[in-house]
Amino acid sequence: MEVEEVYSSSELDRKEGKAINELIARSQEPIPDPDQWLDEELKRNILLTSVDALIDWGRRSSMWPVVCFPACCAFEFIATSVSRFDIDRFGMGIIRASPRQADLMITAGTLTWKMAPQVKRIYDQMAEPKWVIAMGACAISGGIFRSSYSVVPGYNRIIPVDVYVPGCPPRPEALIYGIRMLHKKISKMSIAAKGK
């Protein structure tokens, strides 16, 4: 049968399967949230410099989200981004298809292990500084699919998460609250502290 030529090589499937199984093997524990520095900073009582204040203002005032909307929370994100709730108010109206131009990943939806390597790659391709908002129950913990054989039990298994927004799905108000929390977090960052 000549139609067999339309099928892709099974070598590709084996490579993909190997990559997924390796990712599962090294993602058994959640990655700690990158917020330990928040407490330290307060304990040491360091005042931010005016340079920090300016840079943090710049960073939080135009966070461009990257496209990472694997499931139904995407619709609440879309509702948030368009005219009624309008995240353009925070300078976030430009949703980038290229991770190189994005600062923020809003993980709107259930993530399967098959999709996980791609999401991790998108995150890795984003330039520092970068932040992640886990939007919705599935993004936080896998939600109702947590015990499933194919679902990642929370994005923090593969990428560090800054802010968690609960809900199934979260209302746009909740997402905006999460975005405001991230703004507050960024405003406490010091460029002197390497990383986050």
Closest CA to 174 of 90, 77, 107, 89: 77
Q: How far apart are CA 126 and CA 109, in angstroms?
A: 19
- If one asks whether residue 118 binds other proteins (CB under 8 A), the answer comes out as no
**Binding region for other proteins (CB under 8 A) out of 5-13, 35-43, 96-104, 130-138:** 5-13
Letters for 137-176 (x = contact with other proteins by CB under 8 A, - = none) are ------------xx--------------------------
Are 132 and 105 spatial neighbours (Cβ–Cβ below 8 Å)?
A: yes
| Among positions 38, 74, 104, 113, the unique one binding other proteins when judged by CB under 8 A | 113
In terms of CB distance, is 21 or 98 closer to other proteins?
21
Q: How far apart are CA 42 and CA 44, in angstroms?
A: 5
Q: How many Cβ atoms from other residues are within 10 Å of residue 169's Cβ?
A: 25
* Residue 180 in the binding site for other proteins (CB under 8 A): no
Q: Among 17-25, 43-51, 128-136, 158-166, which window interacts with other proteins (CB under 8 A)?
A: 17-25
Of 114, 121, 180, 184, which lies in the binding site for other proteins, with binding defined by CB under 8 A?
114
Residue with structure tokens 């790659």? Answer: 121
Least Cβ distance, residue 138 to other proteins (angstroms): 18
Nearest to 77 by CA among 156, 178, 162: 178
